[in-house]
């Protein structure tokens, strides 16, 4: 609903207490509830070195309790931060929920991080325990950690007293039973909890409130170091319960979901875990993205819901065996996605793509559910979620804009973060408790949000504001385009020139005029790129969450155009 009576840009979701389908609002309570509902069903499975391991929902609870008992024996209690440096594997799930059952704060750390980045987030988080996967592709996180703190190599398990990481006491490796100095093998770590009773763990979990800190994520913005974003239990739990509704999951056909994107990304965490576990489905785990292995998994495991980043779809289509793979089990796959053109896939499903959110709101704060008709969604990003409020403000004064006028998106609601690490909350929120996102957009009289991108990414050309998101959404559908990113480059006449940078699909033969013609047939003339540059994927500098750094790309594009003009 919108504040039409006042004619101001404020829209609100339905009251939170009117929302249906929400269960327990602590992560420990969530786990126990889904285990009670779906006990013997398969919750997750993984293949490692040719061996398949599968956990039921009952197994997931049992394994999480095992981790929780060990953590309790190590002194973990309410608010203790437990760092999880792992890919998508079964132990990530038991580490996450085990931490929650013990009352701790699960602190997810990206396996993409370099040594200096790991050092920074461990310093920020003040983690007392690190549960790590040592071997991840070419990385050895055991060696990375000992390089950061040499005492780890020479100290006995549980005895670390580091001046660099003063809260850190316990480290354990989930992928080996062999220790390495202070890093304990997994079996030895779990054995610590043999004297801790399950009923004590359950009592500790019962003492956790939805308002207590439950998750700590690190989000890499387009500039600067990683930001620690602390969330109460209620935020992820609300979203976990909501995703089956947003996906329009058929209760009689819960998904078998594949994703190789890390659960240390809040979006993948909420979409994959929520869409799957909240509906009694099965997660098909892949530790890191390998297109050929992914295609094989999708076919052999009869995956019905794939979750991937946009640049991964072309890679899947180029993988060996893709054309002949039997992907007929696919059901929850957007009919407009490249994978939907596979000869064995016949989908009429529309994903909930008319949506907006961030890590600060633990994914979506506005959304239309899957299969909402286009005449309802329009080009919008949906109405606010239950209990949430969105307003549009003047970026300079903070004053609320008249209805329909553009400005900065400001949000508040029940999934809002508790705050950034090290920054007082009053420095993050405005006087009315809204978080100003630095994103631009507007709302309409139907209560719909229209997101137009980062304020500093919106292109001002010839007196018009142009959203690069709209342009890229069109150009990405052009055959042969793997990645499209549009930026504004300074121009004396227009203010900014619309420039689209393209990474073609391997083997595709594209030229600038082909792209411009494709865009001209689908976009207003002032939105058509005035220049098209072809770049290598390696030219695109990205953040830890795979967002393209548009400031760097804008600089590269300006340099390329200047060189071509000489």
> Quick check: 537 pLDDT over 90?
no
Considering the chain, tell me which residue range(s) the CATH 3.30.300.30 domain(s) occupy. Answer: 459-565
Higher pLDDT, 400 or 311: 400
Mean pLDDT of 30-40: 98
Are 416 and 235 spatial neighbours (Cβ–Cβ below 8 Å)?
A: yes
Q: According to CATH, what is the number of the domain 459-565?
A: 3.30.300.30
pLDDT digits (tens, 9 = 90+) for 335-351: 988 899 999 999 999 99
Helical pair 27-38 and 234-247, crossing angle rounded to 10 deg: 40
Q: Which two tokens stand for residue 122?
A: 């461990």
The highest-level CATH class for domain 10-18+377-454 is: mainly beta
For strands 419-420 and 227-232, give the pairing. Answer: antiparallel
Q: Which residue, 98, 73, 67, 61, is CA-closest to 195?
A: 73
In this prediction, residue 526 carries a pLDDT of 85
Phi, psi dihedrals of residue 442, rounded to the nearest 5°: -155, 170
Mean pLDDT of 36-47: 98
In this prediction, residue 326 carries a pLDDT of 98
Q: Which two tokens stand for residue 129?
A: 């325990």
Q: What percent of the chain has pLDDT over 70?
A: 97
Mean pLDDT in the chain?
94
Which residue in the block uniquely carries the two structure tokens 């953590």? 71
Confidence at 541, pLDDT banded by 50, 70, 90:
confident
In this prediction, residue 222 carries a pLDDT of 44
Instruction: Please tell me what DSSP assigns to residue 468.
Output: H
Phi, psi dihedrals of residue 560, rounded to the nearest 5°: -65, -45
Q: Is 187 left (phi over 0), alpha (psi -120 to 50) or beta?
A: alpha
Q: How far apart are CA 78 and CA 71, in angstroms?
A: 11
Q: How far apart are CA 306 and CA 371, in angstroms?
A: 17
pLDDT digits (tens, 9 = 90+) for 496-523: 899 999 999 988 899 999 999 999 998 8
For strands 355-358 and 363-367, give the pairing. Answer: antiparallel
Mention every residue, 6+ apart, whose C-beta is less than 8 A from residue 73: 192, 193, 195, 196
Q: How far apart are CA 345 and CA 317, in angstroms?
A: 13
Are 111 and 83 spatial neighbours (Cβ–Cβ below 8 Å)?
A: no
Q: How far apart are CA 415 and CA 514, in angstroms?
A: 44
> Quick check: 6 pLDDT over 70?
no
Are 43 and 55 spatial neighbours (Cβ–Cβ below 8 Å)?
A: yes
In this prediction, residue 458 carries a pLDDT of 83
Mean pLDDT of 272-281: 98
For strands 459-461 and 464-466, give the pairing. Answer: antiparallel
Q: How far apart are CA 73 and CA 371, in angstroms?
A: 48
How many other CB atoms are there within 10 angstroms of residue 156's CB atom? Answer: 10
In what order do the strands lie in the sheet containing 435-443? 10-12, 389-393, 407-412, 435-443, 449-454
Considering the chain, tell me which residue range(s) the CATH 3.40.50.12780 domain(s) occupy. Answer: 55-233
Mention every residue, 6+ apart, whose C-beta is less than 8 A from residue 512: 531, 532, 534
In this prediction, residue 470 carries a pLDDT of 86
In this prediction, residue 5 carries a pLDDT of 41
pLDDT digits (tens, 9 = 90+) for 137-183: 999 999 999 999 999 999 999 999 999 999 999 999 999 999 999 99
Considering the chain, tell me which residue range(s) the CATH 2.30.38.10 domain(s) occupy. Answer: 10-18+377-454
Q: How far apart are CA 537 and CA 303, in angstroms?
A: 28
Q: What is the largest CA-CA distance in the chain?
A: 75
Confidence at 4, pLDDT banded by 50, 70, 90:
very low
Cα 466 from chain centroid? 26
- The CA R_g of the chain, rounded to the nearest whole Å, is 24
How many other CB atoms are there within 10 angstroms of residue 537's CB atom? Answer: 11
> Quick check: 354 pLDDT over 60?
yes
CA-CA-CA-CA torsion for 502, 507, 511, 514, nearest 10 degrees? -90
Q: How far apart are CA 160 and CA 157, in angstroms?
A: 7
In this prediction, residue 310 carries a pLDDT of 80
Burial state string for 279-292 with b = 16 or more CB within 10 A and e = fewer than 16? bbbbbbbbbebebe
In this prediction, residue 248 carries a pLDDT of 98
How many other CB atoms are there within 10 angstroms of residue 197's CB atom? Answer: 11
When mean pLDDT is compared across 6-20, 231-245, 307-321, the lowest value belongs to 307-321
In this prediction, residue 544 carries a pLDDT of 57
Which residue in the block uniquely carries the two structure tokens 């899957």? 370
Q: Which residue, 197, 231, 202, is CA-closest to 214?
A: 231
Instruction: Please tell me what DSSP assigns to residue 489.
Output: E
Query: pTM for this one?
Result: 0.87
Task: Report CA torsion sign: 56, 58, 64, 66.
Answer: negative
Phi, psi dihedrals of residue 245, rounded to the nearest 5°: -70, -45
Are 94 and 86 spatial neighbours (Cβ–Cβ below 8 Å)?
A: no
The highest-level CATH class for domain 55-233 is: alpha beta
Q: How far apart are CA 158 and CA 145, in angstroms?
A: 15
How many other CB atoms are there within 10 angstroms of residue 21's CB atom? Answer: 9
Mean pLDDT of 92-109: 98
pLDDT digits (tens, 9 = 90+) for 179-237: 999 999 999 999 999 999 999 999 999 999 999 999 999 986 544 568 899 999 999 99
**What 3-state class would DSSP assign to 210?**
coil
How wide is the angle at C-alpha 364 spanned by C-alphas 360 and 368, nearest 5°? 160
Q: What DSSP string runs through 418-451?
A: SEETTS-GGGTB-TTSPEEEEEEEEE-TTS-EEE
Mean pLDDT of 436-450: 95
> Quick check: 545 pLDDT over 60?
no
Mean pLDDT of 451-457: 83
Q: How far apart are CA 531 and CA 499, in angstroms?
A: 5
Are 500 and 532 spatial neighbours (Cβ–Cβ below 8 Å)?
A: yes
E strand spans, 109-156: 129-132, 135-136, 139-140
């Amino acid at each position: 609903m919108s504040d039409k009576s006042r004619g101001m840009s404020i829209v609100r979701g339905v009251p939170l207490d009117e929302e249906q389908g929400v269960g327990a609002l602590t992560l420990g309570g969530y786990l126990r509830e889904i285990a009670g509902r779906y006990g013997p069903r398969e919750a997750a499975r993984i293949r490692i070195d040719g061996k398949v391991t599968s956990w039921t929902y009952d197994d997931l609870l049992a394994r999480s309790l095992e981790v929780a008992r060990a953590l309790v024996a190590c002194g973990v209690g309410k608010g203790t931060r437990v760092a999880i440096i792992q890919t998508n594997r079964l132990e990530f799930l038991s580490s996450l929920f085990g931490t929650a059952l013990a009352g701790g704060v699960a602190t997810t750390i990206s396996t993409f991080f370099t040594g200096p980045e790991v050092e920074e987030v461990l310093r920020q988080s003040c983690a007392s325990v690190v549960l790590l996967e040592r071997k991840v592709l070419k990385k050895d996180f055991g060696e990375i950690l000992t390089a950061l703190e040499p005492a780890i190599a020479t100290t006995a398990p549980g005895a670390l007293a580091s001046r660099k990481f003063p809260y850190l006491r316990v480290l354990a490796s989930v992928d080996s039973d062999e220790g390495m100095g202070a890093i304990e093998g997994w079996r030895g770590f779990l054995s610590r909890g043999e004297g801790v009773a399950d009923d004590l763990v359950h009592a500790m979990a019962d003492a956790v409130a939805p308002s207590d800190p439950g998750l700590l994520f690190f989000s890499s913005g387009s500039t600067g170091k990683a930001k620690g974003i602390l969330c109460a239990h209620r935020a992820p739990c609300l979203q976990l319960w909501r995703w089956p509704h947003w996906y329009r999951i058929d209760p009689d056909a819960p998904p078998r979901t594949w994703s190789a994107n890390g659960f240390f990304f809040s979006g993948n965490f909420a979409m994959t875990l929520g869409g799957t576990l909240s509906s009694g489905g099965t997660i098909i785990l892949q530790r890191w993205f390998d297109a050929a292995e992914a295609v094989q998994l999708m076919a052999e495991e009869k995956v019905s819901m794939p979750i991937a980043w946009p640049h991964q779809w072309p890679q899947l289509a180029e993988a060996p065996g893709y054309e002949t793979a039997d992907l007929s089990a696919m059901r929850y796959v957007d009919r407009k996605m490249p994978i939907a053109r596979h000869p064995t896939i016949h989908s009429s499903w529309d994903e909930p793509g008319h949506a907006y959110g961030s890590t600060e709101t633990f994914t979506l704060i506005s959304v239309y559910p899957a299969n909402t008709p286009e005449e309802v969604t329009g080009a919008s990003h949906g109405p606010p979620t239950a209990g949430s409020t969105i307003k549009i403000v003047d970026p300079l004064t903070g004053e609320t804009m008249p209805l329909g006028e553009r400005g900065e998106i400001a949000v508040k609601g029940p999934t809002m973060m508790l705050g950034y690490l090290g920054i007082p909350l009053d420095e993050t929120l405005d006087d009315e408790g809204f978080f100003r996102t630095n994103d631009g957009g507007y709302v309409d009289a139907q209560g719909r949000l229209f997101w137009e991108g980062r304020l500093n990414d919106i292109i001002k050309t010839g007196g018009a504001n142009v959203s690069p998101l709209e342009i890229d959404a069109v150009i990405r559908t052009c055959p042969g385009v793997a990645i499209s990113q549009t930026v504004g480059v300074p121009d004396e006449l227009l203010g900014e020139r619309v420039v689209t940078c393209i990474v073609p699909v391997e083997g595709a033969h594209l030229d600038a005029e082909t792209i411009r013609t494709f865009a001209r047939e689908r976009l207003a003339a002032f939105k058509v790129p005035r220049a098209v540059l072809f770049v290598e994927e390696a030219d695109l500098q990205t953040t830890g969450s795979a967002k393209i750094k548009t400031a760097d790309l804008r600089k590269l594009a300006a340099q390329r155009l200047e060189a071509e003009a000489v």
